[in-house]
Amino acid sequence: MTQSHDNPAHKQALTIVGFLCNWCSYGGADTAGVCRFKQPTDLRIIRVPCTGRMDPLFIARSLILGADGVLVSGCHPKDCHYAVGNLYARRRLEVLKRMLPFMGIDGDRFRYTWVSASEGQRWQQVVTEFSEQIRSLGPNPGVTGKSAAAATA
Amino acid sequence: MNSDLRSELHKKAEQAWPDLELLIGWQAGYDDLHTTPVFIRDSAEISKLIWNPWCTQNLAVYVAKHFAASSGKDDKKIGVCVKGCDSRSLIALLQENLVARERFYIIGMPCKGIVDLRKLHALSGAARILSVQVNAEQVALKSAAGVLHFPLDEVLMRKCRRCRYPNPLIHDVLVGDPLTPRTDAHEAYNDVAAIERLSLQERLAFWQGELDRCLRCYACRNACPLCVCQDRCIAETRDPKWLTQYMHLPEKFMFHFIHALHLAGRCTECGECERVCPMEIPVALIKEALNKITLELLDFEAGLDPQRVPPLLTFDAGETGI
Amino acid sequence: MDTAIKFIAFDQLNSALDRISEQLDVWVPVASKDQKRVIQFAPYRPGMTLVLDHQTTLGPKQVVLPQVEALFRFDYRKSADEPSRQKVQLEDPHPPAPTLIFGARPCDVKGFLVLDQVFSAGPFVDGIYAARREQTLFATMVCGQQDSACFCSSVGSGPTDRTGSDLWITPIAAGYVVEALSDRAHPVMAWLQEAATELHVAAAGKVQEEAARQQVGNLAVDQCQQHFLQRFADTNYWQEVAGQCLSCGICTFVCPTCYCFSITDEMKDKHGERIRSWDSCMFFTYTLEASGHNPRPSRLERYRNRVGHKFSYFPEKYQGLIACCGCGRCIRNCPVSIDIRKAVQNLQGQNHACS
Amino acid sequence: MHAHNPYRPDLASIREVVQETANIKTLRVVFEDESVMHNFSFRPGQVAQLSVFGVGESTFVINSPPTRREYLQFSVMRVGEVTQRIHQLNAGDQVGVRAPLGNGFDYENMQGKDILFIGGGIGMAPLRTLLLFMLDKREDYGDIMVIYGARTPHDLCYQYEFDQWQKANVNLVLTVDNEFPGWKERVGFVPTVLSEESPSPHNRVAIVCGPPIMIKFVLFGLKEQGFEDSQIITTLERRMKCGVGICGRCNIGAKYVCVDGPVFSRQQLSEMVNEL
């Protein structure tokens, strides 16, 4: 995971962390690559066995330390390789997504989605859309404390 | 009033004692404003039990540990005194099968609210508090600067002013008569709503300012009746190493964020995390915000129905909208 | 040399501190922005409002023993003779700057007299602590505020205990009367402009007398060293005094005499530090060994060790010095109101039946 | 050790790594600064803090004797975060060493006496230091008997040295917990072998080191053989951080294992609080 860059010039390149399930979305991304669909290059992919493995901690840590966006993608609901992993995951991820703004982190920097191994085209679309969304949000300051008011008066 | 309830408590504890191996309650602390938990293992000590608006600790925090350590010999039970809010913690433990109902004898204490010492100190200013009298709905605070009178409601804890469950939701015996709840669920999330009205940047600045004071003493975690994995916490493990030992803001922010997320759909809003914080960080707000989310999204409130499974420990294949 | 007694009028306090802080790093007690009752020592900045009529939530321990500090830095660099290899370079921390702690209480200063033994008495001397201690001056205020948790007089200190302080501040109706207690204080005294009048000095004398009459706390600590050892194996006793302990770190973190620390390496890319950070003997992981064995596995053993360390082991090791300053912070801040006075007071006596 | 900063290690490099067992490696280490190496002196039984910068520090006994000074030797069992990383190190890699720390064995008081070493598993490491030290001054000591046990023959350390020990007139009794194909030595737990051997306590010092459960039963066995508390020496382990008696965690009562130990006689232990 990447720490925020202090120099805004470095921010031209976005840091988007992608957690992809091994059985569907990782395959989907592969399919997109094999088909030579044009994709933005900002995504750093981390393969996870299942979205059910996604501890919200992974996402929180990325965003706290200044990743510009986090994308989680797995098998379509009811299509999980482990039958129910993504059904647990979607509740957790939705709760997290709604929680982020309460703590002052833009919920739009986090997205979860479902892409199967055959959906190369859909993958291209998801990545492109999300990258554009993040680009429009600009760099994530993370939780550095630099903008925080001094704790003592 | 209090002395009547206290003798009723003693009487009911005496009656229950033959079936108990242990009774967890409150006793007088080091001064009149403080109570401390007591573990009664001898009926002669029942007289130590007290009940008053200072009985702040949520005794459910001890329940899982004593349950694990207890042999249940001779079918003896563990007795525990609970307020309305505390009873919800107990139910949450039951929901997760961390304790077994039949092993407990629950003494329910309908509760008009607990006094927030910080509010008393704020009212007395620099002057030392000499004594505090609570009579029905009025408080008389005597300090070196004189005597102040104000309504009890004004010095209750934040959680009490938004309390929807003054009566224990689970009990074997009640001490006193059931009370009428004060607010509806809508008003209960006023404090969360106040934060939500801030801009994203203001919210971040608010939490950065508050959480920066954190000492990482982990009292909020250890005082939580539902933080059951505290000796194996991400805050302290080195392998995997999620947090450094630095006192930087990201570490503190991360700890509190994850602490709260682990309580999503589980927190019963007993407010202990916030009360115990020596740096007075409003950490319970984070959990309240999560509860608001789980209520809206998954129609679930923790600690109400012992039969229900917390929503993040289960799934619904048919649900839509997420 | 300027040895006169000085006076700072209330409205001159900031300008006096402005002058001093041009020469020294000055730490003062201030309230947190949002929570007025959370008072901590912070580096002085012009315009700050000091809180001098309350004990601070956290004492000034962190000024000399910061919650986190680097013991040394390390950098991995490519080796000149073997480019495939990384070589480590070590660098000691920077030497500390001269510092004044303004507005501490006698109990706060007493805490440092305890820490001094550990860090400077040997067999090994912690040069990092010792250097910072050497550079730190204390302007201590006579204490007029005690509450039901205070017990400084019981542990050999008191509201007018000047031991360890360099300057002595007495609040009177119009301001603060400041005396020098050590030679090190003289430069600071010279930066204070107004000399105290006889009236000021007399008023200060009255305040001192009044404070000196206070007997804060009635704990008897004589022979607690032996009594503790006799009580050591009495599990029921420890259950009685600390059965309710939650094993959090509040008591140790707010304690002016608790110093135990952890050492960890923190590295990013090729650069890192070996840091020490406050640890707490109340934590399960404190004594947890890699094998999984833990000599103090439960809260009772850990609380017992805390009492033992302060009232038995420490005096055994350091000529009878009790490692407690009686500030009462552990009592006041304990979530379940555990009272260490009770734990110590009752050490003496019959071994417990399960009462 | 650096006088002003006792936490700062001296840099050292690994000369050689020996795979002792599946989870124990022995590192032979030399200080990079030749003058440090030259001036380094220690007592058998003293320990060192070995660090991998960026991971952390752990305590190990220096198990080469002070009489052999070409390198310092440490045997490291893989159990935690730091030892995991140490096991990945190779010859030429750099480590940090803070040494010597702790008290070491009181070998002066063992001169002229018969010696009984009782070791289990990795617990042989501190015993090896003293054993080799005594072998280098063989005439100062009487009979030397070593009872050394491990779970299987593959878990015995220093096997390549057994011949030399025996040549120096050491009565070496090896044992493993269970029957093992090809194993011709003793079978059974160390305390059992001890009672079978039943060495006379007369003018003898027993030095015991191993897992806590073995120590417990060996101490019991020695008592039965008639050993006095003052004749029984053992070493203790505690989680340590600073190693210099400051950070606070390794205390047993008022004693710090890192400076007052790790070597204690049973006599001393009996005078300390019971918190092992």
Q: Which of D107, D102, D83 is nearest to D27 (CA)?
A: D83
Cis before residue B110, ω within 30 degrees of 0? no
Do C11 and C35 have their domain in common? yes
Residue B277 within a domain: yes
Q: Do chains B and A touch (3 or more CB pairs under 8 A)?
A: yes
Please count the structural domains in chain C. 2
Pick among D57, D58, D79, D81 to test the B interface (most B CBs inside 10 A): D81
Residues C20 and C148 in one domain: yes
pLDDT digits (tens, 9 = 90+) for D188-238: 999 999 999 999 999 999 999 999 889 999 999 999 999 999 999 999 988
CB contact under 8 A, B223 and C338: no
C241 lies in the same domain as C170: no
A151 to C30: CB separation less than 8 angstroms, yes or no: no
Q: How far is B204 from chain A (nearest CA, A)?
A: 4
Position B320 in a domain: no
C351 domain residue, yes or no: no
Asked if residue C122 is part of any domain, the answer here is: yes
Q: How confident is the model at residue A151 (pLDDT cuts 50, 70, 90)?
A: very low
Contact list, C38 vs chain B (CB under 8 Å): 213, 278-280
| Pair B79, B218 in one domain | no
pLDDT in tens, B1-11: 467 899 999 99
Total residue count of chain B as it appears in this document: 322
Contacts of B62 in chain C (CB under 8 A): 244
* Confidence band of C17 (pLDDT split at 50, 70, 90): very high
Number of structural domains found in chain B: 3
CATH class of A14-137: alpha beta
**Reduced to 3 states, what is the DSSP secondary structure of residue A72?**
strand
Asked if chain D contacts chain C via 3 or more Cβ pairs within 8 Å, the reply is yes
- The pLDDT of residue B176: 94
pLDDT, position D130: 96
Q: B48 with B92, same domain?
A: yes
Query: What residue ranges do the domains of chain D occupy?
Result: 10-101, 107-235
pLDDT at B263 exceeding the cut of 80? yes
Q: Domain-by-domain residue ranges, chain A?
A: 14-137
Q: What is the mean pLDDT of residues B98-123?
A: 93
Do C231 and C202 belong to one domain? no
d(CA D53, CA D65): 26
Q: What is the pTM of this model?
A: 0.93
Which residue matches tokens 């005096």?
C315
Q: Do C37 and B121 touch (CB under 8 A)?
A: yes
Mutate one of A95, A97, A105, A109 to test the B interface: name it (highest B CB count within 10 A): A95
CA distance C141 to chain D (A): 30
Average pLDDT (C144-154) is: 92
Which residue, C161, C187, C213, sits at the end of a domain? C213
The mean of the pLDDT values for chain D is: 94
Which helix (H) or strand (E) segment holds residue C198: the answer is: helix C198-213
Picking from C180, C213, C246, the residue at the C-terminal end of a domain is C213
CB contact under 8 A, A3 and C49: no
Quote the domain boundaries for residue C64: 6-68+96-213
Question: Are A148 and B298 an interchain contact pair (Cβ–Cβ within 8 Å)?
Answer: no
pLDDT band at B181 (very low <50, low <70, confident <90, very high): confident
Question: What contacts D243, CB < 8 A, 6 or more positions away?
Answer: D47, D49, D57, D59, D98, D101, D102, D258
B316, A148: Cβ pair inside 8 Å?
no
B205:A104 CB<8 A? yes
Alpha carbon of C38: minimum distance to chain A alpha carbons (Å):
10
The reply to whether B270 falls in a domain is yes
Q: For chain C, say whether B45 makes contact (Cβ under 8 Å).
A: yes
Residue B321 domain-assigned (yes or no): no
Which of B36, B210, B279 is nearest residue C337 as measured by Cβ atoms? B36
pLDDT tens-digit readout, B27-69: 999 999 999 999 999 999 999 999 999 999 999 999 988 888 8
The mean per-residue pLDDT over the stretch B256-276 comes to: 94
% pLDDT > 90, chain A: 81
Quick check: B242 pLDDT over 60? yes
> What pLDDT score was predicted for residue B185?
57
Closest residue, chain D, to C270 (C-alpha): D54
Instruction: Tell me which chain D residues have a C-beta less than 8 angstroms from the C-beta of C289.
Output: 237-239
Using an 8 Å Cβ cutoff, are B104 and C18 in contact?
A: no
- Is residue D79 less than 8 Å (CB to CB) from chain B? no
- What domain range includes position B227? 184-313
**Shortest distance, CA D167 to any CA of chain C (angstroms):** 35
Q: Look up the ipTM and state it.
A: 0.92
Using a 10 angstrom Cβ sphere, with 0-12 exposed, 13-18 middle and 19 or more buried, the burial of residue A55 is middle
Query: C32: nearest CA in chain B?
Result: B213
Whether C109 is in a domain gets the answer: yes
Enumerate the residues of chain A whose CB falls inside 8 A of the CB of residue B316. 87
Q: What is the pLDDT of residue A10?
A: 46
Q: Are residues B107 and B121 in the same domain?
A: no
Is residue A58 within 8 angstroms of chain B, CB to CB? no
Same domain, B32 and B143: no
State yes or no: chains A and C have 3 or more CB pairs below 8 A: yes
Q: Do chains D and A touch (3 or more CB pairs under 8 A)?
A: no
> Which of the listed CATH numbers 3.30.70.580, 1.10.3720.10, 3.40.50.80, 1.25.40.10 matches domain D107-235?
3.40.50.80
Q: Average pLDDT, whole number, for chain A?
A: 88
Mark yes or no for CB contact B286/A103 under 8 Å.
yes
The yes/no answer on whether domain D10-101 falls in CATH 1.10.1740.10 is: no
How many CB atoms lie under 10 A from the CB of residue C327? Answer: 28
Q: What is the pLDDT of residue A147?
A: 42
Distance from CA of B300 to the nearest CA of A (A): 12
pLDDT band of residue A145 (cuts 50, 70, 90) is low
Answer yes or no: is pLDDT of A146 > 60. no
Read off the pLDDT of each residue in A93-100 and give the average, rounded to a whole number.
96
Residues B195 and B211 occupy one common structural domain: yes
- Indicate the pairing of strand C68-78 with strand C86-91: antiparallel
Residue B184 has a pLDDT of 63
Looking at chain C, the whole-number percentage of residues with pLDDT higher than 90 is 85
Q: Which amino acid is at A12?
A: Q
Is some CB atom of chain D closer than 8 A to the CB atom of B239?
yes
Indicate whether C101 belongs to any domain: yes
Q: For residue B85, give how far its alpha carbon lies from the nearest alpha carbon of chain C (Å).
A: 17
Which residues share a beta bridge with C261?
Answer: C278
Question: pLDDT tier at A150 (50, 70, 90 boundaries)?
Answer: very low
Same domain? For B75 and B96 the reply is yes
